[in-house]
Structure 1
C-alpha cells in the first residue's frame, strides 16, 4: 500500500520548484482508462475548453491508467495530493461511501424510473448537485468533484446463445459490474463475476465466463466481444444511468482563481451535454457495424428479467437506505424528483421510442 502522504510531500516540493519557472497551473488527471478510450477523448475535449476559457492559465494533462497509481488507488492519491486530479465512474468509490452508487450508477434507475436525461435534470435542477458536493465530505476525502460524462442506458450484454427466460440467464457465468449492481444479479441467482474491461475478452475466450456486459456498442466493440459472442441484448436495467466524473485535490482547487474555478464549472456543464451527444452517434455507428459486418444478432430481453431485477434492485436500495442516513437522503431526493418528473418524461419518451422503433424496423 502506498504511503500517499509521504509521496505527496515530495511531489509538492517538486511542484513548488517548478512554479518559479512557469505561471500556468497544470491539472494532471489520472484516468482509470487508457488514453484511447472514448471517455478520455471527451475528457481531453473538456480540457481544451478549460484552457480556452482561462486563456491558458489552467491546462489539463490526462494521464493513462497506472501512470502514477493503480486505478483503485486514484481517489486516495488525489486526496493526498500525489496527483492533482483523477477520472473514473462515481460508483467506483461505493466502498468508501455507499451513496456514491446513487450518483455513479443508481441501480435500475434508482428504482424510480430515472434514465440518463432525467438524472441530469435532477442533478442540475432537482437538488442533486448540492448533494453531490456533500458526498466528498461524507466520504472523508479532500476533493472537489465535477460530474462530466453521463452514459446510458447500458446494454444488458453479450451471450453465446439466445436466452428466453431468467432460467436460461441463470445458467450463464456472467461478467457484471461490482457493487450494488452486481449484487442485485447475484440476488436473483445469476452467477455474477466482477472484472476489469480488459480482462473480459480473455475470460470469454478461456471459458472462465460465458456471457458479459461492459457498456454500449462502441466500447464493447473496441474490447472485441463480437469476436466470441454474437447475441447482443440492448435492453437492460442494471445501469440505466452511468456517470463518469473528475476529482480535483481540494487544496489545488482552493488555490485556483475565481475565473479558473468558473471555467471548470462551465466546461463541466458543457461536457454533460457534449458527451451524451457524442455517445449517441458513436454507439449508433458501432451498432450498425456490428450487425452488418460482424454477424451480431440483436435480441429482445426476456420479460421476466425486468420484474426480477427490479425487485432485487428495490431490495438493495432499501437495505442501503436503512443502513446509511446520507444514502437515504439522496435516495429520498431522487424519489421526490421522480414523483414530479418521471410521469411526464416516461409518457413523452414512450411516443418517442415508438417512433424510433418504427423507423428502425423499416431498416431491417
Structure 2
C-alpha cells in the first residue's frame, strides 16, 4: 500500500470516529495488549517492524490501544507464539506463517513457497486475488485474525561452510531452512531443520549445522554468519518474497470497534509497505559491506542444482496441496494468481531490469 492510500485509510477512520458516538471502550482508559514475536529483541527489520506496528496502532488510536511487545523468549519461546495467541495467553503475534505448518501445510503459502510469488505478487494475491479471505478462513479455525504486516523481499539461499558444486554435495548436508524450502532440501538428501533466529549462529559455530538460510544481507550480517561460513549462495529459490504476519486473537479482534479495526488494517498495510522498502534499501548496502570488508564469496548455484531445486519444489508443492482440502483450495488460488501475474512480471519488472543492465 502506498503512503497516499495509507493516509487516506487513516483519515477515513478518523473522520468516522468523529462522526459517530464513541463506544465505552474508546472513551475509557487505554487498553493494554500483549504482542509476542518470533524475533530477537530490537532486531533490525524484523524486531523493529513489530515495535513500529505497535507504535503505529498506539498513535493512530490516540493511545486507546497500547501494545507491549515481547521478543522471542521473553514471554514465550519464538515458535510458541501462535499457540499463545490462539489460546488467549497473548493477544497478537508477529512472525512468519510457515512456522505454523505443523497446524496446516496451507500456512506456507502466506509467507513464501519455493519458486512462488515475489513480494509484489503476493501483495496482489492477498489484497486483490482472494488470498485474504482464504487466509481468514484458515486462521479462524485457530481463533486468529491474520494480516500481512511486513515483507523482507527476495531472500538468498544462505551460508555454507563448503562449496556446492553438484546435487551430490547436498546429500547429508545439515542446513537450517524452514517451511517447504526445507522439505525441498530433504528431498535432495539434506537434513533440514527449523531453528529460530537466535539459535542459528550457535548451531553453525558448534557444527550442529553445516549451512544456514536466514533472510538476506542486512539481517544475515547482523547475526555475523560471515565469521563462520564464507560462501554465500544465490539465487534464493525458497523465499522469493517473504510476507510476515500480525495475527490477532480472534476474540480480541472482534472486540475492537469498527474504527479500531480500520486503524489496525491501515497500520498493518503501512508497515507491510514500509518494511519492504527498508529491506530493499539496506540489503544493497549490506551486500557491498559483506563482500568488500568481510571477504564473503558470493556463489551462484550450478545449473544442475537449480534444476534439482525446481523439480523437487514442484513435487513438494503438489504433495502439500494433496494433504487436505483446505490446502488444496489455497494452493489452487495461489497458482491461479501466480499464473496471472508472472507474465506481467517477466515483461514488466524483468524486462525493464534487463534493459537497464544492458
TM-score between both structures, scaled by the size of structure 1: 0.85
Residue aligned with 1:236, SS: coil
Q: Deviations over 1:165-195 (max 9, x none)?
A: 2233336332222x42211111012232333
Displacement of 1:161: 3.7
C-alpha distance in structure 2 between counterparts of 1:320 and 1:160, whole Å: 31
Note if contact 1:131-1:330 (Cα within 8 Å) is conserved in structure 2.
Answer: yes
Residue 176 (1) aligns with residue 177 (2): yes
Cα RMSD over matched residues? 2.0
Residue 246 (1) aligns with residue 253 (2): no
Displacement of 1:349: 2.4
Note if contact 2:172-2:189 (Cα within 8 Å) is conserved in structure 1.
Answer: no
- Corresponding residue for residue 318 of structure 2: 318
Q: Deviations over 1:300-326 (max 9, x none)?
A: 221122211111111121122222111
Note if contact 1:107-1:237 (Cα within 8 Å) is conserved in structure 2.
Answer: yes
C-alpha distance in structure 2 between counterparts of 1:149 and 1:161, whole Å: 32
Displacement of 1:128: 0.9
Task: Choose 317-326 or 197-206, whichever is displaced more.
Answer: 197-206
Q: Find 1:101's aligned residue among 77, 95, 108.
A: 108
- Corresponding residue for residue 210 of structure 1: 210
Displacement of 1:65: 1.4
C-alpha distance in structure 2 between counterparts of 1:313 and 1:236, whole Å: 13
Residue 121 (1) aligns with residue 124 (2): yes
TM-score between both structures, scaled by the size of structure 2: 0.87
**Which segments of 5 or more consecutive residues in structure 2 lack a partner in the other structure?**
1-24
Q: Deviations over 1:264-297 (max 9, x none)?
A: 0011111121110011112112111111111112
Note if contact 1:236-1:301 (Cα within 8 Å) is conserved in structure 2.
Answer: no
- Corresponding residue for residue 41 of structure 1: 48
C-alpha distance in structure 1 between counterparts of 2:50 and 2:316, whole Å: 32
Displacement of 1:52: 2.4
Note if contact 2:158-2:213 (Cα within 8 Å) is conserved in structure 1.
Answer: yes
C-alpha distance in structure 2 between counterparts of 1:168 and 1:352, whole Å: 35
- Corresponding residue for residue 94 of structure 2: 87
C-alpha distance in structure 2 between counterparts of 1:243 and 1:273, whole Å: 11
C-alpha distance in structure 1 between counterparts of 2:218 and 2:203, whole Å: 20
- Corresponding residue for residue 6 of structure 1: none
- Corresponding residue for residue 336 of structure 1: 336
Residue 56 (1) aligns with residue 63 (2): yes
C-alpha distance in structure 1 between counterparts of 2:97 and 2:161, whole Å: 31
Residue aligned with 2:32, SS: strand
- Corresponding residue for residue 130 of structure 1: 133
C-alpha distance in structure 2 between counterparts of 1:33 and 1:103, whole Å: 18
Residue aligned with 1:158, SS: strand
Note if contact 1:201-1:223 (Cα within 8 Å) is conserved in structure 2.
Answer: yes
Q: Find 1:69's aligned residue among 61, 71, 76.
A: 76
C-alpha distance in structure 2 between counterparts of 1:76 and 1:171, whole Å: 32
Note if contact 2:40-2:198 (Cα within 8 Å) is conserved in structure 1.
Answer: no
**Which segments of 5 or more consecutive residues in structure 1 lack a partner in the other structure?**
1-18, 359-364
Runs of at least 4 residues of structure 1 off by over 6 A? none
